Amino acid sequence: MAVREAEPVNSLREIREAGLDREDLLGIYRHMLVTRGIEERGHILYKQGKIPGSFYTGRGNEASAVGVATAMGPRDVGTPLHRDMGVHVTRGVEAWRIFAQYMGRADGPTKGKDGNVHMADSRLGLLAMVSHLPAMLPVAVGCALAFRIREERRVAVAWFGEGAAARGDTHEGMNLAGVRRLPVVFICDNNQWAYSTPTFLGYGIEHVADRAAAYGFEGVVVDGTDVLAVYREAKRAIEKAREGGGPTLIECVTLRMEGHAVHDDAFYVPKQLFEEWAAKDPIERFRNWLRENADLSDEEEDELSAGVKKVLNDAIARADESPLPDPRTVTDGVYASPEELDTPHH
Amino acid sequence: MAATQTVDVVMPQMGVSVSEGTVTKWLKQVGEKIEADESLLEISTDKVDTEVPSPGTGVVAEILVQEGETVDVGTKLAVIAPEGAEASAPAEAPPEPATQEAAAEVAQAAPAEATPPTREEPAPAPAAQPQPAAATGDGRAFVSPVVARIAAEHGVDPGRVPGTGRGGRVTKQDILQFIEQGGEPTEAPSEPEAVQAPPKAPPEPPAAPAEAPPEPPRPARTAAPAAAEAELTPGEQEEPVTAMRRGIAEHMRRSLDTAAHVTSAIEVDMSRVVAIREKLKPEFQKSYGVNPTYLVFIARAVVETLKDYPWINGELRGDKIVTRNFVNLGFAVELTDGKGLIVPVVKSTEGLNLLGITRAVTDIAERARSKRLTPEDVQGGTFTITNPGGYGTFHGTPVISQPQAAILGTYALVKRPWVVQDDRGQDTLGIRPIMNLTLTYDHRLIDGALAGRFLRDLRERLQTWGEADY
Amino acid sequence: MAEITYIQAISNGLREEMRRDDRVFVIGEDVGVYGGAFKVTLGFQDEFGPWRVIDSPLSETAIIGACTGASIMGLRPVAEMQFSDFVSCAWDHIVTVAAKQHYRAGTPVPITIRLPSGGGFSGGPFHSQNPESSFAHIPGLKIVCPSTPEDAKGLLASAIHDPNPVLYFEHKHLYRRIKGEVPDERYETPIGKARVHREGTDVSVITWGAMVYTAGEAAQQLEEDGVSVEIVDLRSILPWDKQAVLASAEKTSKVLVLHEDTRTGGFGAEIVATIAEEAFESLDAPIKRIAAPDTPVPFSPPLEKAYIPQVDDVVAGLRELAEY
DSSP sequence for A171-195: HHHHHHHHHHT-SEEEEEEE-SEET
CA distances from B6 to A50, B9, B317 (A): 16, 10, 72
* Structure ipTM over 0.95, yes or no: no
For chain C, which residues make up each domain, given as ranges?
Answer: 2-182, 195-323
Residues 6+ apart with CB under 8 A from C264: C294
- Segment B288-310 shows an average pLDDT of 94
Residue B222: burial class (beta carbons within 10 Å; 0-12, 13-18, 19+): middle
User: In what helix (H) or strand (E) does residue C270 lie, and over which residues does it extend?
Assistant: helix C267-278
Angle (CA) C124 C128 C132, round 5°: 145
Whether the ω angle into residue B403 lies within 30 degrees of 0, i.e. cis, is yes
For chain A, which residues make up each domain, given as ranges?
Answer: 4-17+59-95+117-291
| Residue A343: per-residue pLDDT | 54
Tell me the helix, strand and coil percentages in chain C, rounded to 5. Answer: 40, 20, 40
Tell me the helix, strand and coil percentages in chain A, rounded to 5. Answer: 50, 10, 40
Question: B333 falls in which pLDDT band (50, 70, 90)?
Answer: confident
- Segment C122-129 shows an average pLDDT of 91
| Residue B231: per-residue pLDDT | 81
Best probe of the C interface among A335, A337, A340, by most C CBs < 10 A, is: A335
| Residue B5: per-residue pLDDT | 82
**C2-182 against C195-323: fold identical:** yes
The residue type of C11 is S
Angle (CA) C28 C32 C35, round 5°: 100
Is the pLDDT higher at A2 or at C129?
A: C129
d(CA A286, CA A274): 19
Is the pLDDT higher at B196 or at A251?
A: A251
Given a cut of 80, is residue B262 above it in pLDDT?
Answer: yes
d(CA C287, CA C253): 9
A262 touches chain B (CB under 8 A): yes
| Residue B337: per-residue pLDDT | 59
Q: Above pLDDT 70, what percent of chain B?
A: 75
Closest CA to B305 of B421, B467, B463, B107: B463
Alpha-carbon torsion angle B171, B175, B180, B185, nearest 10? 170
- Do B305 and B461 contact (CB within 8 A), yes or no? yes
B14 touches chain A (CB under 8 A): yes
| Residue B331: per-residue pLDDT | 92
* CATH T-level fold of C2-182: Rossmann fold (3.40.50)
- Do B438 and B396 contact (CB within 8 A), yes or no? yes
Residue B54: burial class (beta carbons within 10 Å; 0-12, 13-18, 19+): buried
- Segment C215-228 shows an average pLDDT of 97
Closest CA to C131 of C266, C312, C298: C266
Alpha-carbon torsion angle B208, B210, B211, B217, nearest 10? -160
CA distances from B239 to A10, B118, B355 (A): 95, 24, 44
Which of chain B's residues have a Cβ under 8 Å away from the Cβ of A269? none
Which of chain C's residues have a Cβ under 8 Å away from the Cβ of B166? 323-324
Q: Which residue of A has its CA nearest to B11?
A: A49
d(CA C44, CA C39): 10
Q: Which residues pair with A221 in a beta bridge?
A: A5, A251
Positive or negative CA dihedral for B399, B401, B403, B405?
A: negative
Question: B145 falls in which pLDDT band (50, 70, 90)?
Answer: very high
* CATH T-level fold of C195-323: Rossmann fold (3.40.50)
pLDDT in tens, B33-80: 999 989 999 998 866 788 899 998 999 999 999 999 999 888 999 999
Positive or negative CA dihedral for B273, B279, B280, B285?
A: positive
d(CA C17, CA B72): 58
pLDDT in tens, B398-444: 999 999 999 999 999 999 999 999 989 999 999 999 999 999 999 99
Q: Determine the 3-state secondary structure of C18 from DSSP.
A: helix
Which of chain B's residues have a Cβ under 8 Å away from the Cβ of C283? 144-146
Domain formed by B106-124+244-469, architecture: 2-Layer Sandwich (3.30)
Concatenate the DSSP letters of all residues of B444-464 into one string.
Answer: TT--HHHHHHHHHHHHHHHHH
Positive or negative CA dihedral for A91, A93, A99, A100?
A: negative
Pairing of strands B383-386, B329-331: parallel
Residue A55 phi, psi (nearest 5): -140, 125
Q: Which residue of A has its CA nearest to C61?
A: A169
**Inter-chain CB proximity C56 and A176 less than 8 Å:** yes
**Inter-chain CB proximity A48 and B52 less than 8 Å:** yes
A53 touches chain B (CB under 8 A): yes
Domain formed by A4-17+59-95+117-291, architecture: 3-Layer(aba) Sandwich (3.40)
Q: In Å, how far is C282's CA from the nearest CA of chain B?
A: 4
Residue of B145, B148, B165 with shortest CB distance to C324: B165
Concatenate the DSSP letters of all residues of C44-64 into one string.
Answer: HHHHH-TTTEEE--S-HHHHH
Alpha helices in chain A (DSSP H): 12-17, 22-47, 62-71, 85-91, 95-102, 136-150, 168-180, 212-215, 227-242, 271-278, 282-293, 298-321
Given a cut of 70, is residue B229 above it in pLDDT?
Answer: no
| Residue B73: per-residue pLDDT | 85
**Inter-chain CB proximity C324 and B166 less than 8 Å:** yes
Q: In the 8-state DSSP scheme, what is residue B377?
A: G
The residue type of A173 is G
d(CA C207, CA C190): 17
Residue of C21, C65, C105 with shortest CB distance to A114: C105
Closest CA to C322 of C180, C205, C173: C205
d(CA C15, CA A219): 40
Q: In the 8-state DSSP scheme, what is residue B37?
A: T
Domain formed by B145-180, architecture: Irregular (4.10)
Is the pLDDT higher at B222 or at C225?
A: C225
Best probe of the A interface among B50, B51, B65, B71, by most A CBs < 10 A, is: B50
| Residue B47: per-residue pLDDT | 66
A104 touches chain C (CB under 8 A): no
Q: What is the CA radius of gyration of chain A?
A: 20
Residues 6+ apart with CB under 8 A from B93: none
| Residue B96: per-residue pLDDT | 39
Closest CA to B132 of B147, B112, B114: B147
Closest CA to A119 of A51, A334, A45, A107: A107
Q: Determine the 3-state secondary structure of B298 from DSSP.
A: helix
Given a cut of 70, is residue C6 above it in pLDDT?
Answer: yes
Q: Which residue of A has its CA nearest to C100?
A: A334
**Inter-chain CB proximity C284 and B148 less than 8 Å:** no
d(CA C218, CA C198): 12
Domain formed by B7-81, architecture: Beta Barrel (2.40)
Residue of B15, B53, B74 with shortest CB distance to A263: B15
- Do B28 and B34 contact (CB within 8 A), yes or no? yes
CA distances from C188 to B33, C153, C159, C233 (A): 71, 8, 9, 17
Closest CA to C261 of C308, C214, C298: C308
**Inter-chain CB proximity B12 and A48 less than 8 Å:** yes
Alpha helices in B86-181 (DSSP H): 106-109, 145-154, 172-180
**Chains touching chain B, criterion 3+ CB pairs below 8 Å:** A, C
C51 touches chain B (CB under 8 A): no
Mean pLDDT for each consecutive 10-residue tract of chain A (346 residues)? 87 91 96 98 94 92 98 97 97 96 93 89 92 95 97 97 95 97 98 92 94 97 97 97 98 95 89 95 97 95 96 96 91 91 52
Q: Above pLDDT 90, what percent of chain B?
A: 47
Beta strands in C139-254 (DSSP E): 142-144, 166-171, 179-182, 195-198, 203-207, 229-233, 236-238
Q: In the 8-state DSSP scheme, what is residue C106?
A: -
CB pairs under 8 A between B and C: 26
Q: Which residues pair with B86 in a beta bridge?
A: none
User: How many residues are there in chain C?
Assistant: 324
Residues of C involved in catalysis: 127
CA distances from C106 to A114, A140, C96 (A): 11, 17, 15
A123 touches chain C (CB under 8 A): no
Kindly report the average pLDDT of chain B as a whole number.
79
- Do A239 and A73 contact (CB within 8 A), yes or no? no
Residues 6+ apart with CB under 8 A from A92: A121, A124
Which of chain C's residues have a Cβ under 8 Å away from the Cβ of A134? none
Q: In Å, how far is B13's CA from the nearest CA of chain A?
A: 7
| Residue A298: per-residue pLDDT | 96
**Inter-chain CB proximity C72 and A111 less than 8 Å:** no
- Do A315 and A96 contact (CB within 8 A), yes or no? yes
B46, B138, B447, B469: the active-site residue: B447
d(CA B426, CA A309): 105
For chain B, which residues make up each domain, given as ranges?
Answer: 7-81, 106-124+244-469, 145-180
**Core vs surface per residue C298-319: b (16+ CB within 10 A) or e:** bbeeeebeebbbebebbbebbb
- Do B445 and B435 contact (CB within 8 A), yes or no? no
d(CA C155, CA C9): 11
Given a cut of 80, is residue B3 above it in pLDDT?
Answer: no
Residues 6+ apart with CB under 8 A from A178: A215, A216, A217, A246, A247
**Chains touching chain A, criterion 3+ CB pairs below 8 Å:** B, C
d(CA C158, CA A5): 51
First CA to last CA across chain B, in angstroms? 70
The residue type of A158 is A
